[in-house]
Amino acid sequence: MSLFVQKYGGTSVGSVERIEAVADRVSRFHRDGHDLVIVLSAMSGETNRLIALAKQVQEQPNPRELDVLVSTGEQVTIALLSMALIKRGIEARSYTGGQVRVVTDSAFNKARIQHIDVEHMQADLAARRVVVVAGFQGVDQAGNITTLGRGGSDTTGVALAAALKADECQIYTDVDGVYTTDPRMVPKARRLEKVTFEEMLEMASLGSKVLQIRSVEFAGKYKVPLRVLSSFQEGPGTLITLDEEQESMEQPLVSGIAYSRDEAKITLVGVPDMPGVASKVLGPIGEANIEVDVIVQNVAANNSNDLTFTVGRNDLGRAKAVVQRVLAEVGAEEVLTADNIAKVSLVGVGMRSHAGVAARMFAVLAKENINIQMITTSEIKISVIIDERYLELAVRALHTEFDLDKKDSDSIE
């Protein structure tokens, strides 16, 4: 018999009916003799609702108090699921992150898991109880409630699976696996049977929210077998694999396309062409805890440059304020900002051994008359920044160009 950690996301526990459906699925696994630790998200929309409440009271909510507030969402669903299981004659016990003791650092709103106590869970499992744990939350050394960042229940699931040495961590969500791109944007997207950790890591960090990036990092580091499946239908889902063999076999050039609307750019116009400028600008941005993504500096004829970089859209206001403070010091003429941009990325380990992917990508965008504002590449990905208006068009055109569209023979449903 196996030990499974199953994580159910917001839509999968979005109503009492959905929670009953999860309870049915969990009971089936339990009756088949498996040991189960269940990790739950809050009901869909609940975390957003709580954050909006906080903002009504305090424009920039106090980070510690925000965690006390948003962690309540998960406490509701774990209790309801446990009741639904008990009703079915299965012994179940729910625990908050603090009760399990998911110990994190003290970075409120984006805490990192440091350690998980497994003794209590193991005792429950030995007594054939189903353990139901609140995702997304932990507790720091001082006993403060912390949360792990949006989408953090995925990371709770994988971290518990690693700590308990589970046979598999199963992420149940509202789509039946990892697709070539977001199936809600591209109906022709195809489910992937397998995807490598490396690719999944890129997809997650480039905007595919199906798995939180930290959960993929964790799974890679501790070699946790990880699968994404649907809580609405049966099916094999997508296995995230460490399989090196897969890489040596024939690879598609591009495995998936990720996109992100969470982008904004800042341009310093007329920056003198001399050493130290980039560090004078980007140093204070880093100190303000603002993450910079793509950076481009133009070569100019008249000894002055334009320096452009992108930040998360939520950070634009703060980043602009920082840049305005150093504007005079670096001798730049003005600062321009734009938040109507988006990032589109091709991801695939197959790119490593093939040249010409970028050229093909740029040709497709040119044909669609989409202007590329910035470009950045690594071994297994190419990202471009474009006008947000053309995002869907770009993703769809690239999806077709790189042979990712579902063939008619693929759709059995």
Question: In the complex, which residues of this chain contact ligand ADP (CB under 6 A)?
Answer: 9-12, 41, 151, 173-175, 178-179, 181-184, 208-210, 256
Side-chain-facing half-sphere of 262: CA atoms under 13 Å? 13
Q: Which is nearer to ligand ASP, 98 or 135 (CB)?
A: 135
> Binding to Mg ion (CB under 5 A): which residues in 142-161?
151
Contact 225, 170 (CB under 8 A): no
Crossing angle, helix 316-330 and helix 277-287, to 10 degrees? Answer: 150
Q: Measured between alpha carbons, how far is residue 47 from residues 10, 13, 108, 281, 324 in Å? A: 9, 13, 15, 35, 34
Q: Smallest distance from the beta carbon of 150 to ligand ASP, in angstroms? A: 4
Check if the beta carbon of residue 138 is closer than 8 Å to that of residue 97: yes
Smaller CB distance to ligand ASP: residue 27 or 137? 137
End-to-end CA distance of the chain: 32
Q: 9 or 348, CB closer to ligand ADP?
A: 9
Based on CB atoms, which residue is closest to Mg ion, 175 or 342? Answer: 175
Among positions 42, 50, 133, 347, the unique one binding ligand ASP when judged by CB under 6 A: 42
Report what 136 binds from ligand ASP, Mg ion, ligand ADP, none; CB cut-off 5-8 Å by kind: ligand ASP
| Using rule CB under 5 A, residue 177 touches Mg ion | no
State the minimum distance, in angstroms, from the CB of residue 135 to ligand ASP.
Answer: 6
Query: Is residue 14 involved in binding Mg ion (CB under 5 A)?
Result: no
Q: Which is nearer to ligand ADP, 12 or 345 (CB)?
A: 12
What would the two tokens of residue 54 be?
């906080």
Does 14 bind ligand ASP (CB under 6 A)? Our answer is no
Nearest distance in Å: CB 392, ligand ASP: 24
Alpha-carbon span 347 to 238, nearest angstrom: 17
Q: Which letter, b or e, does each residue of 70-82 get, where b requires 16 or more Cβ atoms within 10 Å of its Cβ?
A: bbbbbbbbbebbb
CA dist., res. 313 & res. 291, Å (int): 11
Site membership for ligand ASP, residue 402 (CB under 6 A) = no
CB of 137 to ligand ASP, least distance (A): 9
Give the sign of the dihedral formed by CA 391, CA 393, CA 398, CA 400. Answer: positive
| Residue 47 near ligand ASP by CB under 6 A | yes
| Main-chain dihedrals φ then ψ at residue 206, nearest 5 degrees | -95, 5
3 state DSSP class of 33: coil
Considering only 123-131, 151-159, 275-283, 353-361, which stretch makes contact with ligand ASP by CB under 6 A? Answer: 151-159
Range in contact with ligand ASP (rule: CB under 6 A) among 20-28, 152-160, 192-200, 400-408:
152-160
Of 27 and 181, CB closest to ligand ADP:
181
Tally of CB atoms within 10 A around 330: 18
Three-state DSSP class for 312? coil
Residue ranges that bind ligand ASP, judged by CB under 6 A: 9-10, 41-42, 47, 73, 135-136, 150-154
Residue ranges that bind Mg ion, judged by CB under 5 A: 9, 151
